[in-house]
Amino acid sequence: MFAGANTFTIGCRCGEVKFEVSVLAHCCASPMFLEFKGGHWLSLYRDRFGADAPAVEMHTMTRDLPDGVKLSDGLPSSRTQSIGFMWRLFVGWAAMGFRVSRMEPIDEAR
């Protein structure tokens, strides 16, 4: 999917939040994914998949939207993590045998 030894910049801590790491593309400083330490999932930025991106199925954490922004696409929306969203995470975690994957540290010198 990605080529070159210097494809990604550092895993950088996001502000004061010490439990998440964002990984940026070296070429354009675009975010690629977000890892929550201790989580069993990896949040990927959908736009990075281009035309092959799967359809959006739901919106979560809409309380973080700027004032005045309305989602009018007819998809289910939740101000926080919905029960359906949490169920999908739980089912995925069960399929993993309730293990938490470890992400290897990224060399910040690149």
The pLDDT assigned to 2 comes to 47
The pLDDT assigned to 12 comes to 52
The pLDDT assigned to 11 comes to 54
The pLDDT assigned to 87 comes to 93
Q: Where are the domains of the chain?
A: 8-95
At which residue do the structure tokens 């004032």 appear?
67
The pLDDT assigned to 66 comes to 92
Ranges of the chain with pLDDT below 50: 1-5, 10, 109-110
The pLDDT assigned to 94 comes to 94
The pLDDT assigned to 109 comes to 45
